[in-house]
Structure formats: structure tokens, C-alpha cells
Amino acid sequence: MQTGHTPVLLEETLKGLSIKPDGRYIDATFGRGGHARALLARLSSMGQLLAFDRDPSAIEAGQALAAADRRFALRHANFADLDLVVPVQGWDGILFDFGVSSPQLDEPERGFSFLRDGPLDMRMDPAHGLSAAQWLAEVSESVLSQALFEFGEEKHARRLARALKSRTLQSPFSRTTELAEFIASVVPKTGPTHPATRAFQAIRIAVNDELGAIDRALIAAEKCLRVGGRLAAISFHSLEDRRVKQFIHSRSRPPVVSRRLPPPASHLTLIDHGKCLPSAAEIAANPRARSAVLRIAEKRA
């Protein structure tokens, strides 16, 4: 089935998950189903794949697959609630593909991209939470400045936050290109990227609580995996990857302690199987893969 979306690091992800034909797996970020379809192709008639996504468009796109394959089930949920949505323990592998998806970026009405004019929304699930326009209108200058700096790594965060709040008091933003043009008038252009790139990323992350969701999802995944089960997490920028890396390291490496103190109780629950980057060939075929990082971990006894 043609999905219009190319899954990133596909073979590396399947290899990292060490697929068992009769196993039980979770794709916590279904998107347009590229990874899910490839995983199903590796499963026997006894295998099971449960997928979910917080985006109703993704759920709609997966209905035909769910109806056609009895091994596959699809639920509308946020991956941060993984352990509340599925039975805890007993899963052989869990896959996360973090960040915004290509279809979300390519649909102007979703408001994720400043390259196409559309309503300033940016919500993964348009039925819940504040839109980007509402968030910008309601957030304080200090919180906005912090979000721009932490989530967008924007060097001009304070200046931009002050200008954005001054503008919203006069006339709130409602369109993506309107916001992008205003940001470009405040932030000096450096390098080939658009001046609004970092701010759009920061606003999107804040609106969807993306980093908080990742933190909760990783803890939940650890609970749900059986001993020997695999975690595969694909990230697309350093803020996401740093959280995955730190989570895996904290559970796979002993802490550094003084030799004068007694050794701490064992808390090592994962085995770190390292990271994988896209090949030059994959990046050439799919430029959006260039920043992807895949990390694999295994639940230990």
C-alpha cells in the first residue's frame, strides 16, 4: 500500500527489535504505518502488533489495515499513556518514532510548517489542548522566552519573546506565514535556515508537551517490556535524542560513586545496544532522514 510517507531507518529498526515471528509488539507512533507494515510482514499468524497515535488523521489512515489484518489493532491515544492503554508486561518490542511526521508538515491546515500558509494550530491532536495561536496569546513572556531558548535553542529568545507578546497584545497571530514573517523581522538571518525554524520547533514542542510525553513514554515502555524485550526509539533532533540517551544510560550503566561508600542497590534494568544513523544512500533518497538517530535497548532480567 502506498502511504506517501517513507519510514526512516526501517531495516535498522527491525534488526534492532530482533523480531520474533510469534511475538507481541507495539508501534507507539503509527503515523502512516510504514514501520508497522514492515513489522507485520515479519510476524507469523500468531504474532500481534498494537499501534496507536494521538493524531486522528493517522488513526483514519490505519483503519483499512486494522480491518484487513486480524493480527493488528489500532488505538487513538498518546504514547505518554502507554502503560495506561495496554496490559503491563509481556511485550517483545516497543517502537517510538518521535517528532512531527511528514504528512503533518505537508498538510497546510495542520499549521506545523511556515513554508505553507495555514491556520496556526500545530496540535498533534486538534481536539485537545490549546492551538499554537491560543498558546501564544495566553503564555507569559517569561515562559515563552524559556520555551524558545530550551525547546528551540533560539539565541534571541528574550528579544523574540518580548516582540511576540507585544504584538499579540495588539493583534493575535492566526496564520503560519504571518507568524513566520514577523519572526523574520525580529530574528537576524544566519546561515541557510529560515529565521523562524527554531521558534516554530519550540512552539510546537510546547503546545504538544512533546518532551514531557517522551519522558513518560520511556518509563512506561520499560514497565511494559518483558525480560529480553527490545526498545527502539527514533529521534530527529538533539532534545529528543538526549532524553532517550540519558534514559537508557541511567538504566544500563552503574552510577559513579565514591570508593568509600557501599555499592548502591542494583537499578540496572536495560542493556544498551547503541545507536544507528541513516546511511548516505538513505539520506540521498529521503533528505528528512538526515537528522534521525535510532537507539536500541533491551530489558534485562
Between 41-45, 81-85, 184-188, 237-241, the lowest mean confidence (pLDDT) is in 81-85
Q: Is the pLDDT of residue 97 over 60?
A: yes
Residue 3, pLDDT score: 40
Hey, what's the cell of 227?
Answer: 525480560
Of the candidates 81, 56, 65, 86, the residue with the CA atom closest to the CA atom of residue 2: 65
Last residue of a domain, one of 208, 240, 255: 208
Residue 183 structural domain: 108-208
Is residue 271 included in any domain, yes or no? yes
Residue 98 is given by DSSP the state -
Residue 95, pLDDT score: 98
Q: Is the pLDDT of residue 1 over 60?
A: no
Give the distance, in angstroms, between the CA of residue 225 and the centroid of all CA atoms in the same chain: 19
Q: How far is CA 226 from CA 24, 115, 193, 232, 253, in A?
A: 10, 43, 43, 14, 20
Binned at pLDDT 50, 70 and 90, residue 273 comes out as very high
Instruction: Share the mean pLDDT of the chain.
Output: 94
- For β-strands 48-53 and 72-76, DSSP reports them as parallel
The string of pLDDT tens digits covering residues 11-45 is: 999 999 999 999 999 999 999 999 999 999 999 99
Is residue 199 included in any domain, yes or no? yes
The string of pLDDT tens digits covering residues 142-168 is: 999 999 999 999 999 999 999 999 999
Is residue 41 included in any domain, yes or no? yes
Report helix, strand or coil for 202: helix
Tell me: do 118 and 249 sit in the same domain.
no
Last residue of a domain, one of 164, 189, 208: 208
pLDDT (mean) for 83-100: 91
Looking at per-residue pLDDT, the higher value among 105 and 119 belongs to 119
Tell me: do 220 and 88 sit in the same domain.
yes
Name the packing angle between helices 238-252 and 210-224 (round to 10°): 30
Exposure letters 67-79 (e unless 16+ CB within 10 A, then b): eeeeebebebbbb
Residue 266, pLDDT score: 62
Tell me: do 230 and 87 sit in the same domain.
yes
The string of pLDDT tens digits covering residues 199-245 is: 999 999 999 999 999 999 999 999 999 999 999 999 999 999 999 99
Is residue 26 included in any domain, yes or no? yes
Q: Is the pLDDT of residue 2 over 60?
A: no
Exposure letters 138-164 (e unless 16+ CB within 10 A, then b): ebeeeebbbbbbebbebebbbebbebb
Looking at per-residue pLDDT, the higher value among 1 and 160 belongs to 160
Hey, what's the cell of 125?
Answer: 491532536
Q: Is the pLDDT of residue 4 over 80?
A: no
Give the distance, in angstroms, between the CA of residue 59 and the centroid of all CA atoms in the same chain: 16
